[in-house]
Amino acid sequence: MPDRLPPKINLPTADIPDDNSYVIITLTEGVYGDSIATTPVEPTDFFVEFMTDSIYATGAEVSDILNSLQNPLVGGEDTLYCYLEFVGTPGGAETFYIKAADTNSVFDANGNALEFSPNSWEVDQNTDTLRLNDQVVPEILPLLSTPNHTTISSSIGLPIKLVFNEPVQSFSYSVSARHYNYLTYSDTTTATTFKLNLHPPLASLDTITLTISNLTDSVGNTAVNLGQKYFTPALGDYNIDDRVNVEDLAQFVSFWMADSQPLVLGLGPTSGTFPHLVPNLDDKYDLDDGMTFIRMWSWSVDRFGLEPSASPPIGIAMNWDKLVVDVPTEAIAGQVYLRYNPLQGKVDLNHAGFGNNNLTMKREAIENGEILLEFGLVDPDDDARVISIKTEINEPADATVIYKFFGEDQSLIAAGTQKIALVIPTEFRLMQNYPNPFNNTTIIPYAVPEETFVQLEIFDINGRHVETLTSQFHQPGFHTLHWSGRRAASGIYFIKLEAAKTILTQKMILLK
């Protein structure tokens, strides 16, 4: 009688090797890839059914099939080495079986098909349910761990936590700091977590490197060395934005005034090499803390420049048009930034009433036309505080002011940006004539800050009066006069400006 029995997969199926490379399938009789027994089976004739969700290996397929001697198939083999290719790396929790791809894929010599079952519970036509071996090396889970390349406190002993993707059998670690040689620490470990407790204080602006080596899981998979880096902020950078500025100053002043948590939030005294200072914190706020803040503020300005970020208008707008502004009485800290064109002269910021016991920091970049003034009132009083703009410009100009003022709760009580016109000088000025030396005619510029009587005269080198160019009342502003030396001999002459109680002179040379 003709063979009408379909081929079947013998159970149990052999286990897969440690590297998950293949599955050995034995059948009740030899099989082919077509119903007329002319071609061997191919990888696409079989389907790998994953039954377990996994974050590591999510699927697989048969990539190659060899016979029991590890040679290519010719057809009619009853033992198949089915080599597997995985999507992802097996983690040891994945289960699967192999079955015919469909009803028209695997046949015996008489054309009987290996029965195809689309239902996972009908396993008699499939291989055994197999479990993959763990090939995933242990690693750190970044979403559950203290992130790599993040900032850690130099004063508060918060642990660095690492969570592993699987239970680990063993590992070793080392810790080092780039700028501090006296790190002390302890650790806590479980099968899946490691906590490193760095004992404060740490150095400012330091890099802490944690190296995990020989990280081995329960089946012996070993990871390559893992390096984690953590950074300490600059001392005084309370809001951890990589800068020490007026926002940090407002917090520092509020801590000082409240005398709260000095061991954690204080700044001094310090040891170490600037700017990698190590705070040896005492139990009070005093000159040591203030000097540390000023030094770190200077570091921040040198590194990032003077110009702060502009804020949208907040609070009552301040009017800088008159070049004099009263600091809000409720302000404990503030910042004023001035930018001007240095080719038009020099502009300065003056302050009054802050007192020796308070923090006042000022930095100028004259070549860029920038001035930054910040203050913190750690010992406030009832005196009025004034910030004024002083100009030594040669012509009408303009400037930009960016300002911020903070209250006791560190809230922003006033902020804004204003462009101001510098059309009225703040003092009498007699600028150098041009051209100089000159032939016949030169221009003499001068500045008058108030309505007053002005006299401008020319004298020769012997002090003899040569000519009076003007002798009359002037309105505030910038003025120019022309002097023609056609009637004068070549030589050195002096310009004399006299107004109110001011006398100014300039030397000029007439060449014919």
Q: Is residue 10 part of a domain?
A: no
The H or E element containing residue 149 is none
Q: Are residues 444 and 360 in the same domain?
A: no
**Is pLDDT larger for residue 32 or for residue 55?**
32
- Position 276 scores a pLDDT of 97
Q: Are residues 27 and 124 in the same domain?
A: yes
pLDDT level of residue 21 (50, 70, 90 thresholds): very high
pLDDT tens digits, one per residue of 395-442: 899 999 999 999 999 999 999 999 999 988 889 999 999 999 999 899
The mean per-residue pLDDT over the stretch 384-393 comes to: 90
Question: If we measure between CA atoms, which residue out of 315, 308, 296, 313 comes closest to residue 338?
Answer: 308
Q: Are residues 33 and 121 in the same domain?
A: yes
pLDDT level of residue 96 (50, 70, 90 thresholds): very high
- Position 213 scores a pLDDT of 97
Q: Tell me the torsion sign for CA atoms 263, 264, 266, 267.
A: positive
Do the Cβ atoms of 408 and 482 come closer than 8 Å? no
How does DSSP classify residue 354?
-
Determine what percent of the chain falls in helix, strand and coil, rounding each to the nearest 5: 10, 45, 50
Q: Are residues 96 and 44 in the same domain?
A: yes
Mean pLDDT of the chain: 92
Question: If we measure between CA atoms, which residue out of 25, 42, 39, 10 comes closest to residue 109?
Answer: 39
Q: Are residues 263 and 225 in the same domain?
A: no
CA geometry: angle 479, 480, 482, nearest 5 deg = 160
Residue range(s) defining the domain that contains residue 298: 246-304
Taking the CA atoms of residue 23, residue 26, residue 27 and residue 33 in that order, the dihedral angle to the nearest 10 degrees is: 50
The mean per-residue pLDDT over the stretch 472-487 comes to: 93
The single residue listed with the structure tokens 């440690």 is 18
Q: Are residues 470 and 506 in the same domain?
A: yes
- Position 261 scores a pLDDT of 64
pLDDT tens digits, one per residue of 287-332: 899 999 999 999 999 999 999 988 899 998 899 998 999 999 999 9
SS3 label, residue 401 = strand
Q: Are residues 218 and 264 in the same domain?
A: no
Do the Cβ atoms of 126 and 50 come closer than 8 Å? no
Instruction: Read off the CATH number of the domain in which 467 is found.
Output: 2.60.40.2550
- Residues sharing a CB contact under 8 Å with residue 1, sequence separation 6 or more, in sequence order: none
**Is pLDDT larger for residue 301 or for residue 114?**
301
Question: If we measure between CA atoms, which residue out of 138, 208, 201, 146 comes closest to residue 166?
Answer: 138
The H or E element containing residue 511 is none
Q: Tell me the torsion sign for CA atoms 322, 375, 346, 302.
A: negative
Cα–Cα distance measured from residue 329 to residue 326, given in angstroms and rounded to the nearest whole number: 8
Q: Are residues 348 and 394 in the same domain?
A: yes
Cα–Cα distance measured from residue 295 to residue 112, given in angstroms and rounded to the nearest whole number: 88
- Position 195 scores a pLDDT of 97
Q: Is residue 212 part of a domain?
A: yes
**Any idea which of 14-23, 117-126, 356-365 has the lowest mean pLDDT?**
117-126
Q: Are residues 328 and 406 in the same domain?
A: yes
The mean per-residue pLDDT over the stretch 135-163 comes to: 93
**Is pLDDT larger for residue 14 or for residue 147?**
147
Cα–Cα distance measured from residue 455 to residue 497, given in angstroms and rounded to the nearest whole number: 6
pLDDT level of residue 3 (50, 70, 90 thresholds): low
- Of 197, 231, 265, the one marking the end of a domain is 231
**Is pLDDT larger for residue 425 or for residue 230?**
230
Cα–Cα distance measured from residue 76 to residue 66, given in angstroms and rounded to the nearest whole number: 12
Q: Is residue 238 part of a domain?
A: no
Beta bridge partners of 494: 459, 507
By DSSP bridging, strand 491-499 and strand 477-484 are unpaired
pLDDT level of residue 259 (50, 70, 90 thresholds): low
The mean per-residue pLDDT over the stretch 227-244 comes to: 95
Q: Is residue 211 part of a domain?
A: yes
Q: Is residue 506 part of a domain?
A: yes
Q: Are residues 48 and 127 in the same domain?
A: yes
Q: Are residues 40 and 63 in the same domain?
A: yes
Q: Is residue 390 part of a domain?
A: yes
**Any idea which of 108-117, 156-165, 402-411 has the lowest mean pLDDT?**
108-117
- Position 122 scores a pLDDT of 54
Q: Are residues 42 and 126 in the same domain?
A: yes
- Of 231, 266, 291, the one marking the end of a domain is 231
pLDDT tens digits, one per residue of 372-383: 999 999 888 878
Beta bridge partners of 401: 338, 418
- Of 392, 422, 452, the one marking the end of a domain is 422
Cα–Cα distance measured from residue 476 to residue 96, given in angstroms and rounded to the nearest whole number: 93
How does DSSP classify residue 91?
-
Beta bridge partners of 497: 456, 504
Cα–Cα distance measured from residue 445 to residue 443, given in angstroms and rounded to the nearest whole number: 6
Backbone angles phi, psi at 211, to 5 degrees: -110, 125
Structurally, how many domains does the chain consist of? 5
- Position 118 scores a pLDDT of 63
Q: By CB neighbour count within 10 A (0-12 exposed, 13-18 middle, 19+ buried), where does 148 fall?
A: middle
Q: Is residue 108 part of a domain?
A: yes
Q: Is residue 139 part of a domain?
A: no
Cα→Cα distances 450→145, 421, 431, 478, 496, Å: 67, 16, 17, 11, 18
Question: If we measure between CA atoms, which residue out of 398, 399, 406, 359 comes closest to residue 379?
Answer: 359
Do the Cβ atoms of 217 and 309 come closer than 8 Å? no
Instruction: Read off the CATH number of the domain in which 208 is found.
Output: 2.60.40.1220
- Position 116 scores a pLDDT of 73
